Structure 1
Amino acid sequence: MPEPAISPANGQEPADYFNTVAYSGNNTQLSVTGVGFEPNWTWIKKRNGAASHALQDSVRGSFRYLVSNSTAAENTNSGNDWFRSFDSDGFTVSKTTTGGTATTEWNNSGDTYVSWNWLAGGTAVSNTDGSITSSVSANTKAGFSVVSYTGDGTASTIGHGLDSAPEMYIIKDRESTDNWVVYHKDLTSASYYLTLDTTNAQASNNVVFNGTDPTSSVFSVGTSRSTNGNDFIAYCFHSVPGYSLVSSYSGNSSSDGVFVHCGFKPAFVIIKVASVANRWVMFDNKRSDENPVEEAQELNPNDSTAESSSGTDCLDFLSNGFKLRRTGDVFNTSGYNYIFIAFAEQPFKYAQAR
């Protein structure tokens, strides 16, 4: 069995590049530690009540955030009262009220939160690989980059900073109200896209990604206002053996559902049915440490809803992948195409069963 580049044998753990940390709010300045690195992208969701998802990255700056369940433009909190900073072992959040406006997305006393954290490449650098210059923080070892660019309204290419073609990327207009658009290699073609903020099935429009698959140096955008003409942020991923997988599966409509081989024990997975309209789902290994993973641990990028109390079985995290335990359009209908991205707790070679 080949040794993964990110493995204990090489003095590294998958959690050195992606890690989930749960915490409780206190409505004062709070340093959330235990991430294990200074993240370049942190995605936070309140668990015990309805609140929007809050996405921050170091390329845009810690005081700017976007909301995955909304088409809204970037929010700027120049006073750093909510998400204050990215730190060496996590991040710092602060009070929940600024200028008389209450918010509970980061740090409300008595509320519980989960944060998903990724390590990119630190301080962003200029990238001139594309027809438009981009600002990129790229981690080539982990297959992840954060890309900022300003579209000129014409079909263009954007440098992503990775050494392989990204297999999935998520793009958001920072300046205007518009959908989050998602490219995934296992949609019908590069003319198709998903929207992270909706339940919509895949849709076709050549002007979103210019009908063009990415290369090892650039991704393409067309003339759509969803990907061009303003300031944009893009989160780019490609699979890394033993650490991450961008792929898909076909449902079988059985409660003894599809087994999806990943080559690692999952720490985190996002799934979306592409064939029909239904919700995105996301699960992690910190909010549920035993199988089966239940609906009570489900969160939805397209929705502000809290965790539920449902005990319905959804899936198992196994030493070499995950297995569906639920039927229906969201997870497992026969013949439907489901796209996903997953990150590892441990490569299969070192994984222990739950």
Structure 2
Amino acid sequence: MDLKLLSAIGAAGAAGGDVIGVEDVFKTYVYTGNGTAQGTVQQIVNGIDNTGGGLVWIKNRGQNVSHMLLDTERVDGNGDTYELKSDSSNAQAGPYSGMNITAFNNNGFKLEGNGGNTNENNKEYVSWNFKKQEKFFTICTWTGDGNTGRVISHDLGSVPGAIFIKKISGSDDWTVWHRRLNEGTNPHTKKIYLNGTDAEAASTNDFTAAPTSTGFTLGNDGRVNESSSDYVAYLFGHEEAEFGPNSDQKIISCGSYEGTGSAGLSVTLPFELQYIMIKNIDRASTGWFIFDSMRALPVGGEDFALFANVNGSETSWGVEFIDINATGFTLKTVGNDDTNKNGDTFIYIAIAAETGKTSKVPENASDVFAMDYGNGSTTIPAFDSGFPVDFGLLKRPASSTEWSATSRLQGPNYLVTNDDSAEAAGSAYVWDSNVGYTAVSWADSALLSWMWKRNAGLDCICYKGTGSARTIEHSLGSNNVPEMIWTKKRNNTGNWHVYHKGLNGGTTPQNYYINLNTSDAQTNTAIWNNQPTSSVFHLSSDGHANSNGDDFIAILFSTVSGISKCGYHTCGAGNVTLSMDFSPRFLLLKNISTGSTPWVVIDTLRGITASAGNTPTLNLSGTSQQSNYTWIQSISSSGIEINAGQGDRFSNDGDDFIWYAHA
């Protein structure tokens, strides 16, 4: 089918009022090449529908080979794509039969061949897939006419935040327009080159007027509008609030900041980012940095960069460049020319992370929660999930061993849920996979991992304590209030502290907490200051979860219909029914009235047996191996029934319990 017709079909679908999440229009996908010869095929299934148009930008992570930009507008009649390289001024090359991308699919794209830029055997690659979507991204092509004032119409449906233009029929630089060139005043009077390291420079014949929501105006420079030459432009949106579960969120931002030369500069965004490209526009010999959270963008660890203008391999130099949070990012480098030189202006293009705030509400629980025994692979993933893992718990159920808790934001580090120890380094905890995590031989078939993806029911936040009462923004989304929160000091010893909406029987629960790493009952101390809302959670000046200068992590849980639920109940003399509107695969249960009671963990992978059967039960606050108990009366499509008279760990008459379940 003609690609122009496919584009029209895609635009019509988008105009129909469908909810569009960031996961529908952008995806960072990492893969290992399998090309041993021309004609070798690899299907990349990333969930992006490219049949309506799009761009796939690919880089070999470990070798000095060029970036490869392949799009739906530059395809020959056989489906073969023409190559462009962001680090080169060369004309497009190809197409090469049976090489690079040979099909743009409704769930990704098809690679063929063994080219080093896209699919060489056993080489590691990253791909960034931009879907053609109104208010987010689009592509234009034209043939130059040499006339100043040439208007190129576009279908972005909004004023662009940035435009990349490349002559494809001949050699010339990539010309970039960005809304914050010239400090945002008449930015069309300046230009900068994507394939170079120069600072911004005056321009009179690249762009001759400010872009509008329907077109952009060109001069007659050979880079953009030489007579009879052919061109492509990539247009990026800017902060249009039309995405996410309520179609009111912004998912792309084209902005700027002024460097201070000191660590701690905060840059505000309307979202937590997953991808960012940064360029110093005041200083030459500076590159176009690309960071993304799939390859590594931890809070408090080294960040791995690629450069759009250089064919070099991925590197971190052992440096932490930025820390991300729910409202933007913080610069961590001191005086770095490329990201934080004092007084210099930096432009960026940032794309929102997949969170409850920016993604569609999950329809299938298996898309956001999985359990798996390890396979002992030293190549990621040792645990298979089917999705990018953001938070994981690990335990050997049949052994007396500690629990580990780790998250993408922590990078190669972990905490232990059954004690108060500080975060420890764990090089096995790697995250650069779209279908699992971890790579180490000891992650064998005796080790079990429970894995979550961030969504409306689960969020992860790293923050630094201040010692003063405050609020911290989260990304569960405006439809979801945190109903359970775990906090833990990362850099020092300290208990895990838990907020749950059912503390104190659900009355002023913010005045109570309970420890995750002990068997204690709830404690009447107000470390939360107030109940959470759909945008923030509260911390008091109490040092348990907010000591000045300490680094913390918070894991937030919420109810999502058919997916997850936080609940509480008081036991009576009879059986207790936990109503969930789903059949749980995972249940966490705690008696908050009586001390010396475990944090009970059961799941369907190890087995939940009703009636008189034994259910293998673990304790999240202890190291003991699982034990069998006959405490489950029944399990159904709407929840679990607990037998009466099972003692204080399960159903003690008169005691209050809190719980969390996942389908």
Cα drift, residue 224 of structure 1: 2.2
CA distance in 1, matches of 2:453, 2:488: 20
- Match 2:423 to one of 70, 74, 80: 74
Amino acid at match of 2:468: T
CA distance in 1 between counterparts of 2:615 and 2:562 reads 28
1:175 maps to 2:525: no
Say which SS state the counterpart of residue 583 (structure 2) adopts.
strand
Aligned partner of 2:127 in structure 1 is none
SS of alignment partner, residue 59 of structure 1: helix
Do residues 112 (structure 1) and 432 (structure 2) align?
no
Q: Which of 433, 437, 450 is the matching residue for 1:91?
A: 437
Q: Equivalences for 1:178-193 in 2 at 5 Å?
A: 178-188=494-504, 189=508, 190-193=510-513
The residue type equivalent to 1:88 in the other structure is: N
SS in 2 for 1:248: strand
2:642 to 304, 321, 324: 324
1:285 aligned onto 2:619: no
Contact 2:382-2:440 at 8 Å conserved across structures: no
Tell me if structure 2 keeps the 8 A contact 1:59–1:146: yes
Query: In the TM superposition, what is the alpha-carbon distance from 1:173 to its structure 2 partner?
Result: 0.6
Contact kept in structure 2, 1:22 and 1:287, CA below 8 Å: no
CA contact (8 A) 1:293 1:316 kept: no
Among 215, 219, 227, the residue aligned to 2:545: 227
Alignment partners' CA distance in 2, 1:236 and 1:225: 19
| Matches of 1:311 and 1:272, distance apart in 2 | 16
What SS does the corresponding residue of 1:20 show, helix, strand or coil? strand
Deviation at 1:296, TM superposition (A): 5.2
* Cα deviation digits, residues 164-204 of structure 1 (max 9, x gap): 32111100011111110000011122110110000111101
* Separation in 2, partners of 1:25, 1:328: 38
Equivalence for 1:201: 521
Label 1:153 to 1:275 Cα distance change in 2 as closer, same or farther (>3 A).
Answer: same
CA deviation after TM superposition for structure 1 residue 88, in Å: 1.6
Distance 2:579 2:615 in 1: 24
Distance in 2 (alpha carbons) for counterparts of 1:177 and 1:295: 37
Deviation track 1:85-134 (CA, whole Å, cap 9, x = no partner) reads: 352211123145xxxxxxxxxx36xx6122111101xxxxxxxxxxxxxx
SS in structure 1 of the partner of residue 366 of structure 2: helix
Aligned letter for 2:498?
A: V
Task: Name which of 271, 290, 312 aligns with 2:630.
Answer: 312
Matched, 1:259 2:573: no
The residue type equivalent to 1:84 in the other structure is V
Q: 1:58 aligns with which of 402, 408, 411?
A: 408
Q: 1:269 aligns with which of 574, 578, 587?
A: 587
Structure-to-structure mapping, 1:19-168, within 5 angstroms: 19-23=370-374, 25=376, 31-61=381-411, 63-77=412-426, 80=427, 82-96=428-442, 107=443, 112-120=446-454, 139=455, 142-162=456-476, 163=478, 164-168=480-484
- 229-238 or 82-91, larger mean C-alpha shift: 82-91
SS at match of 2:513: strand
Following TM superposition, where does structure 1 have runs of at least 4 consecutive aligned residues deviating by more than 4 angstroms?
292-296
- Letter in structure 2 aligned against 1:64: N
Amino acid in the other structure paired with 2:486: I
Deviations 1:230-273 (A, max 9, x none): 1110011111111111111221244xx21111111111110001
C-alpha separation in 2, matches of 1:191 and 1:283: 29
In structure 2, the partner of 1:351 is: none
Letter in 1 for 2:436: G
- In structure 1, the residue matched to 2:558 is 238
1:15 counterpart SS class: helix
Deviation at 1:37, TM superposition (A): 0.5
The alpha-carbon distance between structure 1 residues 25 and 291, as it changes in their structure 2 partners (threshold 3 A), is: farther
Change (3 A) 1:161 1:84: closer
Task: Give, in whole Å, the separation in 1 of the partners of 2:490 and 2:362.
Answer: 38
TM-aligned CA deviation for residue 11 of structure 1: 9.1
Look up the equivalent residue of 1:270 and give its one-letter code: L
How far does residue 291 in structure 1 lie from its aligned partner after superposition?
2.9
Contact 1:25/1:112 (8 A) holds in 2: no
TM-score, with length taken from structure 2 = 0.42
The Cα shift of 1:301 comes to: 0.9
Mapped to 2, the partners of 1:74 and 1:203 lie a distance apart of 24
Structure 1 unaligned regions, length at least 5: 97-106, 121-138, 345-354
Please report how far the alpha carbon of residue 32 of structure 1 lies from its aligned counterpart in structure 2 after TM superposition.
Answer: 2.9
* Greater CA drift, 222-231 or 87-96: 87-96
1:220 Cα shift?
0.8
Q: TM-score, normalised by structure 1?
A: 0.77
| Residue in structure 1 matched with residue 369 of structure 2 by the alignment | 18
**Structure 2 CA distance, aligned partners of 1:219 and 1:293?**
42
Aligned-residue Cα RMSD (Å) equals: 2.3
Deviations 1:293-323 (A, max 9, x none): 9665111110011113x35344533210001
**Could you tell me which amino acid in structure 1 is paired with residue 584 of structure 2?**
P
1:314/1:25 Cα in 2 relative to 1: closer, same or farther (>3 Å)? farther
Q: Secondary structure at the match of 2:589?
A: strand
Q: Which amino acid aligns with 2:648?
A: D
Unaligned runs of at least 5 residues, structure 2: 1-244, 246-360
* Structure 2 counterpart of 1:123: none
Answering whether residue 531 of structure 2 is matched by residue 213 of structure 1, we say yes
Counterpart contact for 1:25–1:113, Cα < 8 Å: no
Give the drift of 1:285.
1.1
Greater share of residues in strand: 1
Residues 234 and 292 (structure 1 numbering): CA distance in 2 closer, same or farther, change over 3 Å? farther
- Aligned partner of 1:135 in structure 2 is none
Pair 1:67–1:295, CA change in 2 (3 A): farther
Match of 1:349 in 2: none
Q: Which amino acid aligns with 1:57?
A: S
Aligned residue number for residue 134 of structure 1: none
One-letter amino acid of the counterpart of residue 116, structure 1: W
**Matched pairs, number:** 295
Distance in 2 (CA, whole Å) between partners of 1:64 and 1:292 is: 41
Instruction: Answer yes or no: is the 8 Å Cα contact 1:29–1:95 preserved in 2.
Output: no
CA distance in 2, matches of 1:24, 1:279: 29
Tell me if structure 2 keeps the 8 A contact 1:22–1:286. Answer: no
